[in-house]
Structure 1
Amino acid sequence: MQNDLDWSDGTLADPYRASEDDRKAALRSLIRHSPVLFDILTALRDLALPDAWLVSGGLYQNLWNHLTGRPFGYGIKDYDVIYFDGTDLSYEREDAVIRKVQQRLSHVEAEIEVRNQARVHLWYKQRFGVDYAPLTCALESLCSYASRTHSVAARLGRNDEIEIVAPFGLTALFALRIVPNYVVPNRKTYEEKGARMLALWPELTIEPWNETAG
C-alpha cells in the first residue's frame, strides 16, 4: 500500500485503515530517505556486531519530525545501538565495541550510544532501582522500555533489505501517542521522558501512567 513519504492523510495512524506491514513499509522508506539512519544500519552490518540493531529514539523521533514537518535530526541527542554478546560480559569488551562503533560513525553529529544487552542486568538496578532479568537476545530489551511506543528496532540485511521489529506495533508511533509499558515498574522514567518529548513535539499525546495497570 503506502510506502512513500506522503502520510498526510493519517491512514497509517489508524489501526483499521492500515496494516502493520503498511507501517513497516513506511518506516523503511523513511530510513532509506535518511542518509544518517541508513549509514548507521550499514555500519552495524559491516562491523558484524552480534545481534546488532538501531533502536528507539533515532527511529521514532525522526519519524515524528517527518510527521510534524520538522527537520531531520531535530530533538535527537543520540542514536541508540544495541547488540548481544554473551561470551564476554566485561565492561572492557563492551567499551572496545563502543569505541569501534563510534569511530566508524564519527561523522554523525549526535552521539552514538552502544550497549551490550547481555550485561544490562549487571548495572540496571543500581541505575534505575529495580531488578532486571538477564536477557537471551538483544530484542528482548524492547519489551522493557518505559513506553511501548518507543519499542522499535531496525537492522540492515546483506541484500540491503531493512528489517523492522516492533513488539507492540507501530500504530501509536504514527499516531504521535506515547503509551505506558507496565512490564517494568518505571513510572518515573516514563513520566520524565514523556515530559521531555512533549516539550520538543507538542503534538504528542501522553497517556497517563495507570497504577492499577502496573
Structure 2
Amino acid sequence: MRTGRLAVTEQLDALRAALNRNELLVEVLNRATEFDLPGWYLTGGCLFQTVWNVVTGRPPADGIKDYDLFYFDDSDLSREAENAVVEAGAQLFGDLPAVVEICNEARVHLWYQDSFAVSCEPHSSTEAAIDSFAATTCCLGVRRTGAGDWRIYAPHGLADVFNLVVRPNPVLAPRHVYETKTRRWREKWPELAVLPWPDEDR
C-alpha cells in the first residue's frame, strides 16, 4: 500500500520515520529545540523534499538547499530584532554543512510586496504563514519539545507529500512563484505530478 493511502496516524509515523533518516535535518531540529524560538517550526523544502527522497530511493538529504526555521514574535517588528535572532542562529548552526534560514513570520508583511509584487496581510502566527505557501504540499511544519514529543502541522494532510503530488495553493504567492518552484523541483524529482495553477477565467 502506498504511504499516502495509510490511515492518518500511520502517515504521521511514516513522516517521522522519513525525517529521521535525514541526519542533518534531525540535528537542525534538535538544535532548534534548544533554541526554542517563540512559535517556531522547521518547515519548507527540507521536510517534503526529504520525504520525496525517501519515497524515490534517493539519499535523504539529496538536493535540499536549505533548512527553514520560522518563528513568530510580534513584540518587536524591527529588522534589528530579527537580525539579532539570525546572528544567534548563525552561532548555533554555523558548524553544520547546511544553510539554516531563520525568519520572523510576524514581519513578512513588511517586505513581501517588494519581493513578490503582491500585498500580504500581517500573519497571526507561524501556522498562518505556513498556510500561505505556494503549494499545499509545502504546507508542513514540525517541531520537537524538550521531552522529545513531535508537533506536526499539516493543514492539507500528508497524502500528497507521500504520493509525490504538488498542488497549487493560490491564497498569497503569485502564479509565477509556483511555476518557478515546480519547474526547479521537477528537474530534481521528475517523478512529481505537478498540478497546474487554476485558470483565473473559470
Q: Give the TM interval when normalised to the shorter protein.
A: over 0.9
Instruction: Please tell me whether the aligned partners of residues 105 and 129 of structure 2 are also in contact (alpha carbons under 8 angstroms).
Output: yes
171-180 vs 158-167, which moves further: 158-167
**1:53 partner letter:** Y
The 5 A counterparts of 1:182-201 are 182-184=170-172, 186-201=174-189
Q: Which amino acid aligns with 1:118?
A: A
Rate the CA distance shift 1:138–1:42 in 2: closer, same or farther, 3 A: same
Give runs of aligned pairs for residues 1-214 of structure 1, distance below 5 A.
Answer: 9-10=1-2, 12-14=3-5, 18-184=6-172, 186-212=174-200
Deviation at 1:25, TM superposition (A): 1.4
Superimposed CA distance per residue, residues 7-51 of structure 1 (whole angstroms, 9 cap, x where no aligned partner): xx42x123xxx1222211111122333322222122122112111
Q: What is the letter of the counterpart of residue 54 of structure 1?
A: L
The Cα of 1:213 is off from its aligned counterpart by: 8.1
Range moving further from structure 2, 29-38 or 152-161: 29-38
Q: Deviations over 1:149-185 (max 9, x none)?
A: 0010000012101111111111111000100002125
Q: Name structure 1 gaps, 5 residues minimum.
A: 1-8
TM-score (norm 2): 0.95
Gaps of 5+ in 2: none
Query: Which aligned segments of 4 or more residues in structure 1 are displaced greater than 4 angstroms?
Result: none
Cα distance, 1:120–1:185 mapped onto 2, change above 3 Å: closer
| SS of residue matched to 1:123 | helix
Deviates more, 1:51-60 or 1:37-46: 37-46
| Structure 1 stretch displaced more, 41-50 or 144-153 | 41-50
How large is the RMSD of aligned CA atoms in angstroms? 1.5
% identical equivalent positions: 36
In the alignment, the residues of structure 2 paired with residue 74 and residue 154 of structure 1 have an alpha-carbon distance, to the nearest angstrom, of 20
CA distance in 2: counterparts of 1:181 and 1:121, whole angstroms: 18
Letter in 2 for 1:68: T
| Structure 1 contact 182–213 (Cα < 8 Å) conserved | no
Instruction: Provide the C-alpha distance between the structure 1 equivalents of 2:164 and 2:111, rounded to a whole number of angstroms.
Output: 31
CA distance in 2, matches of 1:71, 1:33: 9
Structure with bigger helix share is 2
Distance 1:19 1:180 in 2: 24
Number of corresponding residues: 202
Contact 1:13 1:175 in 2 (8 A): yes
**Superposition TM-score, scaled by structure 1 size:** 0.90
Task: Tell me the amino acid that sits aligned with residue 175 of structure 1.
Answer: N
Contact 1:146/1:181 (CA < 8 Å) preserved in 2? yes
